[in-house]
Amino acid sequence: MRKLFILLFAALHASRLTAQIWVQDFETNGLGTGYTSASVFTDNLNGHYNRTNGSNISNTTGPYSNKHGNFIWAGENLNITGGNGDGLPNKTITFTAINVTGQTGLQFRGLFGSGNPTAGWDYDDILYVEYSMNGGPWTKIMQFAAAGTQSNSGLFHDTDLNGLGEGIPLTPALQQFSANISATGTSLQIRIYASCTAQAEEFAFDYLRLYSTTTSVAGCTSPFATNFNPAATTDNGTCTINGCTDVQALNYNPFATVNDGTCELTVPEVHFNEIHFNPNEYLGFTDAGHEFIEIHNNTSAAVNIAGWRIAGGVDCTFPIGASIPANGFVLAAATTATFAALGLPVYAYTDDLNNIGENIRLYNASNIQVDEVTFYSNCWPSAADGNGPSLELINYNFDNSLAQSYCAAGLVNGTPGQANTCYSNQILGCTNSTATNYNPSATLNNGSCIIEGCTYAGALNFDAVATSDDGTCVFGSGISGCTYFNAVNFSNTATIDDGSCVFATAVLGCTNTLAINYNPNATFDDGSCLYPQPVVGCTYSFASNFNPLATQDSGECIFPAGIDGCTNADALNYNPNATFDDGSCQYPTVINGCTYSSAINYNAAANYDDGTCDFSVNEIAGCTYSTAANYSASATVDDGSCLFEPEANNCPEDIDGNLTVGVSDLLLFIAAYGLTCN
């Protein structure tokens, strides 16, 4: 008995040491109590940093799954200013201090994911977890980053914390990651830092936990498993995760170990059929009271829609028991009471449809997108924009993502729960028999016809009706070829473009050679260039501590021994003995005026003659050059009349006076031959 008691005590003691001592799953809004963040905002579907159930955000490849409960923390495009955004790319959420007195071997676990697993992230975008023990410095323990130094990567687990993700990629299906905390103390804080600056840079985290793992406990550590052991510190491979294991299924779960029969190989023909986004307020029909979305079941069997949801502009989750009858309808509305008398299921949605335009999406219970419509008031049937009618699908088989598939000519407030006013059995398609995609069953042309021919207007056989060029163009006189200089097969001799141009695939990246992330292979600058921070140091090359890498002078240059002073001979304080110019040179002030002492307006203080000298009084004009033949000793102003005797020349044959008898002298003689001399 005593031995059994000892074993039980040891087991209980080990359980205490490996217990979960903290959890945050965001099911309760703990802002200000469970956690703090100074920059929570929600601007739009693609710009947010907040606690969310997914209804007010939109992911590139699909909604987040594998959530623990309904709510997660998610972010995207963090540096916008709308929706209370602060315009800064860096965001931090800090969790309330955790009492870890007496706890050792701590381990952090959390679920992390990205809504865009293949692109969007640049190498300077990052997501990481760090801790502080007893108010000490923050220490990084977990990080997610792009896989390389290029742009538009997925987000990967950075196992060695070096800034490059080399581990498991993050996906919309949240996955568990863990990291050990070696420090011990009494009070532990955890915070998560994120930095991203563009749409499609999407991340989320959930179900954050802290364990004390002094004693290793083997078991299933996946929170998605039916046999999840929250006390386990080492996974022993026994996890049982129910889900769809068929890789061909729409809801394939790569983490599932047991197929639970939920695989969905096709999406049922359920679609948005009628949208009343802007009722006629002039007639007293408000948005809040009369907006609705109608969903139609285009099959001959009822469809269970329990757990389905409408997301995007509005949010509506259908409850247990909800279904759509065969070939029937259900409504989602802002105010269900307005439609209660129609005798069909009506479910409430939160928020409202934007009167300018909106995106609405329908997901089934497995988070598979069943339908999506994005409409715009300015280019869809205009009568639906506040004039009374709703947007009604013309035919249940038409593509409801296209404006031409709708009409807006029905009753005021539409036809909820009834056949659409403009319903037609017409079949959309190409009705042109000359087209390659002619549909003989089509009764209404949808503009999809493909007619092959020569589409180049400069060709002799140009076909104005053709929509697809078939390469048969015949050009007149000239040289055919590629005339686009940026094509890889550009021909500088071609005068007629023959449509053969081949363009290289653009390589996005930083094209500035001064940037630290310059990409010599990039052909198109994507604005990602990063420039080095200023390097402070001595920028004077003649200083003994000159730093050739410095871009900003520190004012601490050390110069070699010598005599400081002004070394410029033009300066007033020029020092001929100075060996180092100390910047003290002083230059005379320029004084304009007449500098000729014989002028009547001579200025003794002037040091720059400005050409204003006046010699009009008492001046004697003449030749003032003593070497001139007509030199005048009494002249005070030279009048340009000086005559100078030619220099002695012992070669009379040197006609041009260049002291050399040459061809030029002969030419001068020939030119003068025959002239009569005076």
**Amino acid residing at 179:** A
Decide which of 460 and 387 is more confident: 387
Contact 131, 98 (CB under 8 A): no
| E strand or H helix that includes residue 578 | none
Q: How many helices (H) and strands (E) does the chain have?
A: 3, 46
> What number of other Cβ atoms are within 10 A of residue 370's Cβ?
19
pLDDT given at position 169: 92
The class of domain 270-407 in CATH terms is: mainly beta
CB-count exposure of residue 153 (10 Å: 0-12, 13-18, 19+): buried
pLDDT given at position 619: 67
pLDDT given at position 2: 39
Closest CA to 258 of 247, 244, 271: 244
Residue 143 has pLDDT above 60, yes or no: yes
Closest CA to 588 of 568, 610, 564: 568
pLDDT interval class at 616 (50, 70, 90) = low
pLDDT given at position 6: 35
DSSP string spanning 614-625?
A: ---SS--EEB--
Range scoring the smallest mean pLDDT among 62-66, 149-153, 254-258, 557-561: 557-561
How far, in whole angstroms, is CA 277 from its chain's centroid? 31
pLDDT interval class at 535 (50, 70, 90) = low
Domain ranges for the chain, please list them. 18-215, 270-407, 651-678
Closest CA to 148 of 138, 133, 158: 158
Residue 507 has pLDDT above 90, yes or no: no
How far, in whole angstroms, is CA 109 from its chain's centroid? 30
Contact 518, 510 (CB under 8 A): yes
pLDDT digits (tens, 9 = 90+) for 404-434: 889 998 889 999 998 888 887 667 678 888 8
Range scoring the smallest mean pLDDT among 142-146, 347-351, 607-611: 607-611
pLDDT given at position 644: 67
pLDDT given at position 591: 82
pLDDT given at position 419: 86
pLDDT given at position 348: 94
Decide which of 257 and 60 is more confident: 257
Torsion of CA 354, 49, 80, 97, to 10 degrees: 150
Token readout for 490 is 């550009």
The set of residues, in sequence order, having a beta carbon less than 8 Å from that of 576 and lying 6+ positions away, is: 569
- Cα–Cα–Cα angle for 173, 177, 183, rounded to 5 degrees: 155
Decide which of 90 and 632 is more confident: 90
The set of residues, in sequence order, having a beta carbon less than 8 Å from that of 627 and lying 6+ positions away, is: 644
Instruction: Specify the pairing of strand 270-276 against strand 292-297.
Output: antiparallel
Averaged pLDDT score across all residues of the chain: 83
pLDDT given at position 645: 63
* Average pLDDT, integer, range 372-385: 91
- Cα–Cα–Cα angle for 181, 183, 187, rounded to 5 degrees: 100
CA distance 384 to 409: 8
The percent of residues in the chain predicted with pLDDT above 70, rounded, is 85
Contact 297, 318 (CB under 8 A): no
Decide which of 282 and 525 is more confident: 282
CB-count exposure of residue 9 (10 Å: 0-12, 13-18, 19+): exposed
Decide which of 555 and 602 is more confident: 602
pLDDT given at position 14: 39
Range scoring the smallest mean pLDDT among 340-349, 381-390, 449-458: 449-458
Fill in the DSSP letter of residue 231: T
Contact 138, 238 (CB under 8 A): no
pLDDT digits (tens, 9 = 90+) for 441-497: 777 776 778 999 988 777 788 888 888 888 888 877 677 788 776 677 888 777 777
The helix/strand/coil state of 3 is helix
Contact 490, 484 (CB under 8 A): yes
DSSP string spanning 51-113?
A: EE-STT---SS---BS-SSS-EEEEE-TT--GGG--S-SEEEEEEPPEE-TT--SEEEEEEEE
Question: In terms of CATH architecture, what is 18-215?
Answer: Sandwich (2.60)
* Average pLDDT, integer, range 389-417: 90
* Average pLDDT, integer, range 206-230: 85
Fill in the DSSP letter of residue 390: -
Torsion of CA 602, 606, 610, 614, to 10 degrees: 0
pLDDT given at position 552: 67
Ranges 251-260, 303-312, 498-507, 516-525, most confident = 303-312
| E strand or H helix that includes residue 5 | helix 2-17
Range scoring the smallest mean pLDDT among 129-133, 176-180, 486-490: 486-490
**Amino acid residing at 300:** S
The set of residues, in sequence order, having a beta carbon less than 8 Å from that of 597 and lying 6+ positions away, is: none
Identify the residue whose tokens are 């408000």: 286
Residue 153 has pLDDT above 50, yes or no: yes
CA distance 137 to 426: 70
The set of residues, in sequence order, having a beta carbon less than 8 Å from that of 169 and lying 6+ positions away, is: 114, 117, 154, 155, 156, 157
> What number of other Cβ atoms are within 10 A of residue 110's Cβ?
23
pLDDT interval class at 328 (50, 70, 90) = very high
Residue 111 has pLDDT above 90, yes or no: yes
The helix/strand/coil state of 137 is coil
Decide which of 176 and 573 is more confident: 176
The percent of residues in the chain predicted with pLDDT above 90, rounded, is 35
Query: What are the backbone dihedrals phi and psi of residue 11, each rounded to the nearest 5 degrees, phi first?
Result: -65, -45
* Average pLDDT, integer, range 653-673: 70
pLDDT digits (tens, 9 = 90+) for 540-595: 666 677 776 666 667 677 766 667 778 787 778 888 777 777 778 887 777 888 88
Terminal Cα-to-Cα distance of the chain (whole angstroms): 157
* Average pLDDT, integer, range 391-406: 90
pLDDT given at position 1: 39
pLDDT given at position 649: 56
Residue 657 has pLDDT above 70, yes or no: no
Q: How far is residue 410 from each of residues 89, 275, 284, 384, 423, measured CA to CA in Å?
A: 48, 12, 18, 9, 10
pLDDT given at position 628: 79
